[in-house]
Amino acid sequence: MTTTSARPAVTPPAGTRAEIPAKTLRTDRWWLEPALTVLGLTVWLAYGLVHIAMQRWYFAEGPGYSYLTPFYSPCVNNGCVPESAHFGRFVPDWPLIPYALLSLPFLLLFRLTCYYYRRAYYRSFWLSPPACAVPDGHKAYTGETRFPLIFQNLHRYVFYAAVVISLINTYDLILSFHGTEGFGFGLGNVVLGVNVVLLWAYTVSCHSCRHIMGGRLKHFSAHPIRYRAWTFISMLNTQHKELAWITLGTLALTDFYVMAVAADWISDLRFIN
Amino acid sequence: MGALRRFKVWRGDKAGGQLEDFKVEVNEGEVVLDILHRLQATQTPDLAVRWNCKAGKCGSCSMEVNGMPRLGCMTRMSTFAEDETVTVTPLRTFPVIRDLVTDVSFNYEKARDMPAFAPPSGVAPGEYRMQQVDVERSQEFRKCIECFLCQTTCHVVRDHDENKKAFAGPRYFIRAAELDMHPLDAKTDRKDFAHEQQGLGYCNITKCCTEVCPEHIKITDNAIIPMKERVVDNRYDPLVWLGRKIFRRDQLPAQAPAPHPVVAPRQPPPPRVGTHHIPLGVIWHKPQPDGLEAEVGPDGKMPLTEVTFDRAGAASPFGDNVTFPLPPDSLNYQHPKSDD
Ligand code: SF4
Ligand code: SF4
Ligand code: FES
Ligand code: FES
């Protein structure tokens, strides 16, 4: 038997949602990821702040090496060891001014406005939303439409700055092969090198970079070289989240290695000289 | 016979409702939708649930299973532990009609607000030529099955109903990106539309839409973030603005460049000498009918659903009177005869 049902009213009166008292019915451990994010970022920031505030153990020099940690590069403060200041010293020495005054604010902004970190801290620190289908922790929400979050749109500029800083880090890497008595090669160079390569990978895989290099085009076929660049960046870009975390790790490790050598806790493993 | 498993299914309508407990048989290889059908067949003949294809391609069976928006027909029972209670609820973001069926008109209204593909001038339907590399970004978004799982998950409207007016949702951000990246689309203000009308700025790229999309469309990475970057080009980036002024590269705000010179300027037809030795080839001057606009209702808009309209879906951007495929005698290309 067939039943004919009346067609529903075309525009039903402004409806109400299903009455489900539970805020979320998720049964998995959705809170784990935001919790780990908070933990990871907090530990990293605390470590970074402590070493930046110490203003020592940032430069290790020997007969065949001169390692400068990325947290102090470029060292532009009057308090910097002269050999570590590759770009001159012109910032007053004062305990609250970080030695790498020119790069740290931009590095911080770069990561703060990064599309991945935005996702990470909106979810974990700001609970907006803590996880998918778990309610937002806030009454009202305007997203990135107003001050201050509208400034997230300036990520691209900070990306330009980050490219410059990556160049400086690369320059530091080249200089690190040179010590008081000339050329050398040791484990520290490898550590610095791995860090620089991964920093480039993170920087290049940036969404803004992907857009600038080719994403903004309407006709890839008319720009074959930019299309290839875009394809390559798109490939890296799928790993942007991983690179974001890996580079946090390598930055901290590199910094710690240089600190340990500079503080004479360990001695650098030398391969040549 | 399979094992009995415990289920909680939301039953009710807009006046209220509750989760009801059931014990249902579950066999190997079954999906949540199968269980709902077994419920209908055995215990609750009046349970309302939408479905069509049972193959993850029609986008009808969207529901929330253990709190996560999913397709009922693609959620395998084997992903739950034997002793786990499976909770099935309607989509939370949209008004409920009955049981698991919600009223998703919000999405159709947003779809209607989206300007359709704008045909480029000077190229008639049937003359379009595009290169694969130019269309493949847009093609990813054509995989969308309109299940609206992304729409229901997005916290911008899920947790803040008041944003529904200003926010179109991820499904329509991929539509915006699809058209803005389309090599032949002639509309130039899509970025402004996304920014001003669709509320792109409300999205905080937390990627839940990407997490739930059953078609695995990279909504955030490939549509929303590129659209945000395109809006930055237009509105927030003085360097690009300056570069445009200096080098006069007006690529972004200006018309999309004429894609490829496949379309020759219209000229008088070459004189025909004889019939056999000149291949007919492409006839660029073929007259094309002017498209007629679709009828709109008293509110100046097209009807929302096929219930009140003579067809499913939006009107054709080529005009209401142009049907596809074009009749062969109005095509602009004729294959040379085999004896030529
Ligand atoms: S990424 Fe944006 S559109 Fe997607 S769910 Fe999150 S806020 Fe909504
Ligand atoms: S984008 Fe994905 S989740 Fe959203 S409606 Fe389309 S298929 Fe569904
Ligand atoms: S650095 Fe993460 S998106 Fe730019
Ligand atoms: S029934 Fe078609 S997608 Fe599930």
Pair (B90, B180) in one structural domain = no
Pair (B242, B129) in one structural domain = yes
Position B119 confidence tier, pLDDT thresholds 50, 70, 90: confident
Using left for φ > 0, alpha for ψ between -120 and 50, and beta otherwise, residue B207 falls in left
Residue B254 lies in a domain: no
Pair (B161, B200) in one structural domain = yes
Pair (B92, B25) in one structural domain = yes
Pocket test for ligand 4, best of B30, B71, B213 (most atoms within 8 A of CB): B71
Check if B177 has its Cβ closer than 6 Å to any atom of ligand 2.
no
Domain limit, last residue, from B196, B216, B247: B247
What pLDDT score was predicted for residue B276?
Answer: 42
Shortest Cα–Cα distance, B31 to chain A (Å): 18
> Is A216 close to B230, i.e. CB distance below 8 A?
yes
What pLDDT score was predicted for residue B316?
Answer: 73
What pLDDT score was predicted for residue B335?
Answer: 66
> Is B67 close to A221, i.e. CB distance below 8 A?
no
What pLDDT score was predicted for residue A240?
Answer: 97
What pLDDT score was predicted for residue B82?
Answer: 92
Domain limit, last residue, from B102, B120, B138: B102
Counting the structural domains of chain A, the total is 1
What pLDDT score was predicted for residue B127?
Answer: 84
Percent of all residues in chain B with a pLDDT value above 90, rounded to a whole number: 62
**Residue B340 clears pLDDT 70, i.e. is over it:** no
Give the closest of B66, B94, B307 to A7, CB-based.
B307
What pLDDT score was predicted for residue B253?
Answer: 42
Position B313 confidence tier, pLDDT thresholds 50, 70, 90: low
- What's the mean pLDDT when you consider all of chain B? 84
Nearest-angstrom CA–CA distance, B322 and B314:
14
> Is B204 close to A144, i.e. CB distance below 8 A?
yes
CATH of the domain at B128: 1.10.1060.10
> Where would I find the H helices in chain B?
32-42, 105-113, 132-141, 149-153, 155-158, 170-180, 190-192, 208-212, 225-235, 238-247
Counting the structural domains of chain B, the total is 3
What pLDDT score was predicted for residue B263?
Answer: 31
Question: Residue B264 carries which DSSP code?
Answer: P
Check if B141 has its Cβ closer than 6 Å to any atom of ligand 2.
no
Tell the residue number behind the tokens 């470590």, with chain if given: A47
Check if A207 has its Cβ closer than 6 Å to any atom of ligand 3.
yes
**Residue B30 clears pLDDT 90, i.e. is over it:** yes
In chain B, the residue whose alpha carbon lies closest to the alpha carbon of A114 is: B205
**Residue B36 clears pLDDT 70, i.e. is over it:** yes
Single-letter amino acid code for the residue at A35:
A
Section B265-269 average pLDDT: 40
Nearest-angstrom CA–CA distance, B234 and A229:
22
Is B70 in the A-facing interface, judged by CB distances under 8 Å? no
Domain limit, last residue, from B247, B273, B302: B247
**Residue B259 clears pLDDT 50, i.e. is over it:** no
Residue A11 lies in a domain: no
Give CA A34 to chain center in angstroms. 17
Q: Which helix (H) or strand (E) holds A46?
A: helix A32-54
Give CA B249 to chain center in angstroms. 32
CATH of the domain at B40: 3.10.20.30
What pLDDT score was predicted for residue B337?
Answer: 66
Give the sign of the dihedral formed by CA B44, CA B45, CA B46, CA B51: positive
pLDDT tens digits along B201-237 = 999 999 999 999 999 999 999 999 999 999 998 887 7
Residue B257 lies in a domain: no
Rg value, chain A, Cα: 25
**Residue B260 clears pLDDT 60, i.e. is over it:** no
Number of A:B CB contacts under 8 A? 177
Contacts of A193 (CB under 8 A, 6+ apart): A173
CA neighbours closer than 13 Å in the CB half-sphere of residue A72: 32
What pLDDT score was predicted for residue B10?
Answer: 97
- Domain extent, residue B328, equals 264-340
Nearest-angstrom CA–CA distance, B319 and B291:
4
Position B122 confidence tier, pLDDT thresholds 50, 70, 90: confident
Task: Provide residues with CB under 6 Å of ligand 4.
Answer: B 51-54, 56-61, 71-73
How would you write the pLDDT of chain A (273 residues) with one tens digit per residue? 344 444 444 444 457 999 999 999 999 999 999 999 999 999 999 999 999 999 999 999 999 999 999 999 999 999 999 999 989 999 999 888 999 999 999 999 999 999 999 999 999 999 999 999 999 989 999 999 988 998 999 999 999 999 999 999 999 999 999 999 999 999 999 999 999 999 999 999 999 999 999 999 999 999 999 999 999 999 999 999 999 999 999 999 999 999 999 999 999 999 988
Residue B241 lies in a domain: yes
Pair (B225, B118) in one structural domain = yes
Position B326 confidence tier, pLDDT thresholds 50, 70, 90: confident
Position B297 confidence tier, pLDDT thresholds 50, 70, 90: confident
CB A174 within 8 A of CB A126: no
Section B48-77 average pLDDT: 97
Its ipTM equals: 0.91
What are the tokens at B171? 């499904």
In chain B, the residue whose alpha carbon lies closest to the alpha carbon of A240 is: B221
Give the closest of B183, B207, B235 to A119, CB-based.
B207
* B176 or B333, which is more confident: B176
What pLDDT score was predicted for residue B338?
Answer: 67
Residue A1 lies in a domain: no
Contacts of B325 (CB under 8 A, 6+ apart): none
CB B291 within 8 A of CB B93: no
Q: What are phi and psi of B46, to 5 degrees?
A: -100, 15
- Domain extent, residue A183, equals 32-272
Pair (B165, B216) in one structural domain = yes
Position B270 confidence tier, pLDDT thresholds 50, 70, 90: very low
Residue A7 lies in a domain: no
Nearest-angstrom CA–CA distance, B262 and B265:
10
Pair (B115, B197) in one structural domain = yes
Nearest-angstrom CA–CA distance, A32 and B295:
53
Residues of A in contact with B204 (CB under 8 A): 118-119, 122, 128, 143-144, 149
CB A128 within 8 A of CB A136: yes
Position B274 confidence tier, pLDDT thresholds 50, 70, 90: very low
Check if B213 has its Cβ closer than 6 Å to any atom of ligand 2.
yes
* B248 or A238, which is more confident: A238
Pair (B88, B220) in one structural domain = no
What pLDDT score was predicted for residue B303?
Answer: 78
Shortest Cα–Cα distance, A106 to chain B (Å): 17
What pLDDT score was predicted for residue B241?
Answer: 66
Q: What are phi and psi of A77, to 5 degrees?
A: -90, 150
Is B20 in the A-facing interface, judged by CB distances under 8 Å? no
Is B74 in the A-facing interface, judged by CB distances under 8 Å? no
Pair (B234, B322) in one structural domain = no
**Residue B161 clears pLDDT 70, i.e. is over it:** yes
